[in-house]
Structure 1
Amino acid sequence: MSLSALSAAFFASMYFRSYFGVVGPLVADDLALSPAEFGWLASAFFGSFALLQIPVGIAFDRWGVRWPMALVMVVGAAGSALLAASSTFWSAFIGQVAIGIGCAPIFMGVLYYFGRLHSPDRAGRFAATVSSVGSVGALVSASPLSFFTAEWGWRVACSTASVMMLACALAVATSLRHALPARSSQQTTGGAPWRLPRLAYLIPICFTLSLGGTFRNAWAGPYLTDIFGHGTDTGAVLTAVSVVGIATSFALPFALLRWRGQTIVTATYVVGLLSGLLLAVSPDISIYAASAVLALLYAMGNVHPVAMTEAQALLPYQMRGVGLGALNTLVFLGVSASSSVFGIIAGLPLDAAAIYRLVFGGTAMALFIALVVYVACRPPGSGS
């Protein structure tokens, strides 16, 4: 039951991470938002998500996963309901903030919960399973959501999502164990000492892990319509992007059987860097090439659990929640910051091609810096 409940919760989280790519432009049109306001609205979810990571980690270390996750998810349900009723930028902004708060404990809760109950290898397999199943939420937030909003409107879609989040919160509250068996840090860390400075090489990686998701979650729609015209089937492109993300998510556990985690992270960043450079040079190359690049950039986020697993080897058991929270804060601050920066760039008095050259060029530069630090500064024996 806990596996099903956590999979459903992660499904909801992945839906909310991605739904704004479809709903956002409709909200912007309805509320007459400027490009900068659209950027802030898109980043609000990830900003609040990021800021809650450390407090959520502290709550997990003190009370376990069950009640902190369930109660905070109720806040997310209320946020989606508020967004559905919004008539101004600020009410929509508050709704997005609350949704981000509600989703904040879910991914880390999956890692933490299974990490408390199982050995690292078994916990990793369970987390990968939840991640794969839950990633279908990103697919639902593409063409199915486009169809739903076309038929019933974005407000009904947000109201329905609110009910979904509330149901997932109830499932978590009734399915997860309240008190987990205590285990010594020696058992869970293999006697590794607390080595915070050795985690520094992961900071740029964490900050850029979900950078590609910024496009799937918000900016793919504006990019596609600005460059290829308003007749572009954005829903179909986002569906294809989500399918690639889901396929690579299901492939990841099998890849880990053959290659080390650090090899997968490095290769993923090389592919992402080359993809970003392609669209930085020629953002209007073709709709098919653009869709492929957006899919590859989005799929980069699947190595998030791999990077967190690498970090957990350096985290003591009694501080695993706050440690994972700190690293996850960087992941979602990166998404929030990039979305806001993209909004500022979009407001510059430049033609569309020049704007998106800057957007994808900045993306490629951030990925390059993270890759160099990860490869050059990784301490010996830190690979997974």
Structure 2
Amino acid sequence: MLLAFTAGFAMSQAFRTLAAIVAPPLQQSLGLTPGQLGVFAGVFHLAFGSLQIVTGVGIDIWGARRTMLAVFPLAVVGALVAAGANGYGQLVLGQALIGVGCAPAFVVCTVFIARRFPAERFAAVSGAVLGLGSVGMLLTGTPVAWLVAGTSWRAAYGVLAAASALAWLAVWRVVREDPPAADQRPAVLPALRGYVDLLRLPHTWGILALALVTYASFLTLRGLWLGPLLVERHTFTLVSAGHVALAVSLIAMVGPPIFGRLDPGPLRRRRWIVGYTMLTAGLFMVLAASRRPVPDVALVLAITAVTGYIVLQYADLRSAYPTEMAGRAMALFTMAMFLGVGLVQWLTGLAASAAQAVGWEPYGLVFTATALLLAGGTAVFVRVPVARA
């Protein structure tokens, strides 16, 4: 059953990283500016993140299976809308529908793990799911680059729409879940008040501040700027950029399971999270200053390898709240992560446009801004103590 849910998560991963490959042809086909590219990539995550609270309530009331089956078809519809888009507005609408449809894709996995596995296995199992889900990123590497180079960016959306329909069928056919009994279902308003209770806990704000920037930094690189960086800065072909994206995706599959198994436990986990976040910020600063293709590719791969530590944030979250708050805590955390992706992609799009306006190379400012955001999130996380459930 977890594998069926993971198939939906894999399609979510494919959609959220597709922009890195289709961005160059979209610029040529629809004449998009860097700022528009940032909005195009970010609207998926803004829609995705905004629905997390509703998703958490839906899972608590109707169960993970029903929530996934009800919402995920919108991802198929959105992909078809994007495939047929004749302008920027239709393209953004398609992205928004995809984001809404994919909203429950990962949180159903984490809630399933939290409810069916002991707490000490949470990091290892969720790391394995993150690794398997990264298969979706493999699709948006060389395979989609070949498809786009041989046909058009529209075909990529069509293929992902068909694959998403198959993932929905897998959940419908394989997952068997008894919905919560009527006397155990929380009412909607009390369930929403549960989020207020979470926000009243001081340590929640430190967790959310870091959640806004960590995954966002990686996905802004892999999901938006990787293709333009290689194609425009270093004149790679689209297929060559796809090869690099494929390598990034392979490393992204391996990193979370490794860090999940290396989890040092609650006493040292927080220091690991802070240290690896600042290491990532340093790598982005080096990437901002670099101008040679081989070091740039090596830095991208290094950032990807280090990013596997993000699975430790899920373990930290799991240990910070009691089991009865796990569903809403996961939903709130996931909301922060993906609103952060949309925010960082939008901000870096503005940075790229500002750099171009004054005649600067845009990627230096894009990656400097990313590093500064990571440092800011870490500063808040360090200043707000994390309680343990």
* TM-score, length basis structure 1: 0.88
**Using the alignment, how far apart are the partners of 1:236 and 1:287 within structure 2?**
14
Gaps of 5+ in 2: 185-196
Tell whether the 8 Å contact from 1:345 to 1:359 is kept in structure 2 after alignment: yes
User: Which residue identity is paired with 1:156?
Assistant: A
* Partner deviation per Cα, 1:81-124 (whole Å, 9 max, x = no partner): 11111111111111101111122111111010121223223444
User: Which residue identity is paired with 1:364?
Assistant: A
* Partner deviation per Cα, 1:118-143 (whole Å, 9 max, x = no partner): 32234443322222111122122111
**Using the alignment, how far apart are the partners of 2:53 and 2:305 within structure 1?**
25
Gaps of 5+ in 1: 184-192
1:276 to 257, 281, 284: 284
In structure 2, do the counterparts of structure 1 residues 181 and 38 end up closer, same or farther at CA, with 3 Å as the change threshold? closer
- SS at 1:33's partner residue? coil
Tell whether the 8 Å contact from 2:255 to 2:306 is kept in structure 1 after alignment: no
**What's 2:380 paired with?**
373
* Partner deviation per Cα, 1:324-356 (whole Å, 9 max, x = no partner): 222211111111111112222222213343x32
**What's 1:13 paired with?**
12
Segment of structure 1 superposing worse, 211-220 or 225-234 = 225-234
**What's 1:79 paired with?**
78
Matched, 1:265 2:264: no
**What's 1:203 paired with?**
208
**What's 1:328 paired with?**
334
User: Which residue identity is paired with 2:52?
Assistant: Q
Segment of structure 1 superposing worse, 39-48 or 169-178 = 169-178
User: Which residue identity is paired with 1:58?
Assistant: V
Tell whether the 8 Å contact from 2:75 to 2:100 is kept in structure 1 after alignment: yes
- SS at 1:105's partner residue? coil
Matched, 1:109 2:108: yes
In structure 2, do the counterparts of structure 1 residues 107 and 198 end up closer, same or farther at CA, with 3 Å as the change threshold? same
**What's 1:288 paired with?**
294
User: Which residue identity is paired with 2:171?
Assistant: V
State the identity %. 25
In structure 2, do the counterparts of structure 1 residues 226 and 206 end up closer, same or farther at CA, with 3 Å as the change threshold? same
**What's 1:212 paired with?**
218
Q: CA RMSD in A?
A: 2.4
User: Structure 1 residue 181: deviation in Å?
Assistant: 7.4
**What's 2:252 paired with?**
245
1:234 to 241, 244, 252: 241
**Using the alignment, how far apart are the partners of 1:181 and 1:118 within structure 2?**
18
Tell whether the 8 Å contact from 1:209 to 1:300 is kept in structure 2 after alignment: no
**What's 2:317 paired with?**
311
Tell whether the 8 Å contact from 2:16 to 2:223 is kept in structure 1 after alignment: yes
How do 1:154-169 and structure 2 match up within 5 A?
Answer: 154-169=153-168
**Using the alignment, how far apart are the partners of 1:252 and 1:326 within structure 2?**
23
User: Structure 1 residue 257: deviation in Å?
Assistant: 6.2
**Using the alignment, how far apart are the partners of 1:70 and 1:292 within structure 2?**
40
**Using the alignment, how far apart are the partners of 1:301 and 1:168 within structure 2?**
26
**What's 1:190 paired with?**
none
In structure 2, do the counterparts of structure 1 residues 332 and 87 end up closer, same or farther at CA, with 3 Å as the change threshold? same
User: Which residue identity is paired with 1:238?
Assistant: A
**What's 1:297 paired with?**
303
* Partner deviation per Cα, 1:239-277 (whole Å, 9 max, x = no partner): 222222222123223222689432432232122021012
User: Structure 1 residue 231: deviation in Å?
Assistant: 4.7
Tell whether the 8 Å contact from 2:61 to 2:180 is kept in structure 1 after alignment: no
Segment of structure 1 superposing worse, 24-33 or 254-263 = 254-263
- SS at 2:32's partner residue? coil
**What's 1:364 paired with?**
371
**Using the alignment, how far apart are the partners of 1:118 and 1:244 within structure 2?**
26
**What's 1:42 paired with?**
41
* Partner deviation per Cα, 1:168-218 (whole Å, 9 max, x = no partner): 1121123223326789xxxxxxxxx97722222212210112112101101
Tell whether the 8 Å contact from 1:135 to 1:249 is kept in structure 2 after alignment: no
**What's 1:63 paired with?**
62
- SS at 2:85's partner residue? coil
**Using the alignment, how far apart are the partners of 2:142 and 2:244 within structure 1?**
9
- SS at 2:263's partner residue? helix
User: Which residue identity is paired with 1:8?
Assistant: A
User: Structure 1 residue 291: deviation in Å?
Assistant: 1.6
User: Which residue identity is paired with 2:204?
Assistant: L
* TM-score, length basis structure 2: 0.87
User: Which residue identity is paired with 2:10?
Assistant: F
Tell whether the 8 Å contact from 2:212 to 2:336 is kept in structure 1 after alignment: yes
User: Structure 1 residue 382: deviation in Å?
Assistant: 3.8
- SS at 1:106's partner residue? coil
